[in-house]
Structure 1
Amino acid sequence: MINDRLIDAGELPLAVRDFGGDEPPLLLLHGAGGNLAHMTTLARALRPKHRVITVDLRGHGRSGDGPWTWDAALGDLAAVTVQMELDRPAVVGHSLGGMLAALWGQRHPETPGVVSLDGNPPPTRVEHLPGMEPRTAAAELARLKKIFDQMQTGMGQPIPADRLADLVEVQQMAARDMGANEKVWLEGFRRNLVHENGETSTRPSAEATAQIRELMNELDLSPVYAATTCPELVVLPTRDLPEQEPFAELYAAHRRFLVEQAAAVGHLRYLSLADASHAMVIEQPALLADLISDFLINSGR
């Protein structure tokens, strides 16, 4: 039986969804701007071999608001493991959740395994774009930053009541275009809606988004990978999202950097997943579930 509950993480409540079962526990973490509902299809695919618990990260979904730091978010996960009575859970995360999984593995060597599903900071540095002419790389990074700045400004803004139905229809179309489960996709959209004082807005807020962006932009995963002693798997994309296509050269260079970064750590396992974009959780949930389970089993879980 699937069980939704709020747990007390000290400074804020955390929403969790327990998919049940008696198999070894696995924490499954969503990306920035998402929530636990977006991980439902992958959670269901993992459930035969794991007790899967998904979490709304702070500032997302039905969890409380609080300052965004790596320490705070990792403290939230620790609270989940204690209050859900999870014995050494594996941690699997997508995007922001993948970065948290990597940091968890570094700090918790007793963890049976962590998996990052394209849990990588976005491209922000010329030196992380091998093969691109530096001046071109700098110009493209500046152009990309403007787009992210515009997106950040729009976060948390009130949605006019007469536009809400149109936004739902846009989400339905997006689900169909991506081949996602429409019911699950819409739950994810609605779960991030906030209704207060007669207004509707979306989570995370612009403030939380700014904090998360700063953390991701400053994060260097190379020393994290090097210092991690528990088994770790990094799954990398091989193609662009539609919105990334105008920056095709930049993202191709960044993918080369991510492969080089992972390959430089001898004990780290990594895989460039064929025909997968950053949205791999939606595109190939069954394949990812098999990869994750096989990795954890073969790592001696």
Structure 2
Amino acid sequence: MINDRLIDAGELPLAVRDFGGDAPPLLLLHGAGGNLAHMTTLARALRPHHRVITMDLRGHGRSGDGSWSWDAALGDLAAVCVQMELDRPAVVGHSLGGMLAALWGQRHPEAPAVISLDGNPPPTRPEHLPGLDPEKAAAELSRLRAIFDQMEAAAGQVIEADQLPDLVERQQMAARDMGANEKVWIEGFRRNLVHENGETSTRPSAATASQLRTLMNELELAPVYAATSCPELVVLPTRDLPEQEPFAELYAAHRRYLVDQAAASGVRYLSLADASHAMVVEQPAVLAGLITDFVQSAR
């Protein structure tokens, strides 16, 4: 049976969902702006071979708010492992969760396996875009930065009561367009809503979004890969999301950079055919098979 819990991590409460099972434990982490509900379809596909635990990262879903740092987030993961009695879990994360998985592997050589599902910081410098003219790269990065500025400014916004039904309908349409489970998608949307003092706002807050953006922009993964001794797999995308298509040259160059970085670091990597950054939604069954095979071979 699926069991939802709120555990005390000391600094803040952490919301956890236990999918049950007696197989080797696996901790599954969502991306920035998401929550544990967004990992439900993948968790169900993994459940026959693992005891799957998902959680809301701090500042997301039903977990508490707290200042964001890599150390603080990794401490939250450790608290979940202790209180859920997870003995040497494999750690799998998507996007921000994938970055945390990589950092967990660096600090926990005893981990049986860590897997990053496109857990990569965004491009911020021309050297992140090999093959692109430096002047054009700088211009495209400036244009992309403006989009991220808009996204950060929208974080934590208040939703007027009469706007909520339209937002839910748009989320339903997005789920259908992506071929996602509509019920799961809407749970993920509603789980990041906060109702306080007669107002509804979204999570993460503006402060959390700003902290996360800074952390991800400053993260260099090559040294992390090089310092990791436990088995690690990095799954990379091969195509753009619809909203990335106006930046097609930039993202094609960045995918080249990610492949080059993984290869130079000696980390095992896989460029997943016909997969975008939304691979968790697009190919959950394929990912579950890749994850299970890798974890079983690494144990």
TM bucket normalised to smaller: over 0.9
What are the residue-to-residue correspondences of 1:196-211 with 2, within 5 Å? 196-211=196-211
Deviation at 1:108, TM superposition (A): 0.2
CA RMSD of aligned residues (A): 0.4
TM-score (norm 1): 0.99
Q: Deviations over 1:120-176 (max 9, x none)?
A: 001111111000000100011011011111111111111011100000000000000
Letter in structure 1 aligned against 2:286:
L
How far does residue 265 in structure 1 lie from its aligned partner after superposition? 2.1
Q: How does 1:29-108 map to 2 (within 5 A)?
A: 29-108=29-108
Secondary structure of the residue aligned to 1:194 is: strand
1:124 is matched with which residue?
Answer: 124
Structural mapping, 1:131-146, within 5 Å: 131-146=131-146
**Deviation (angstroms), 1:39:** 0.0
Question: What's the CA shift for 1:298?
Answer: 1.0
Aligned positions of 1:192-271 closer than 5 A:
192-266=192-266, 268-271=267-270
Which of structure 1's runs of 4+ aligned residues deviate more than 3 A?
Answer: none
Amino acid at match of 1:86: L
**Alignment coverage as a number of residue pairs:** 299
Deviations 1:27-48 (A, max 9, x none): 0000000000000000000000
- Secondary structure of 1:4's match? strand
Match of 1:186 in 2: 186
The percentage of counterpart residues that share the same residue type is: 84
Q: Deviations over 1:229-254 (max 9, x none)?
A: 00000000000000000000000000
Counterpart CA distance in 2 for 1:135 and 1:265 is 28
Cα distance in 2 between the residues matched to 1:136 and 1:63: 41
- Corresponding position of 1:286: 285
C-alpha separation in 2, matches of 1:281 and 1:200:
28
Q: How does 1:5-44 map to 2 (within 5 A)?
A: 5-44=5-44
Q: With the length of structure 2 as denominator, give the TM-score of the two structures.
A: 1.00
Q: Cα deviations across residues 195-217 of structure 1 (Å, max 9, x unaligned)?
A: 00100010000110000000000
2:165 matches 1:165: yes
Gaps of 5+ in 1: none
Structure 2 unaligned spans of 5+: none
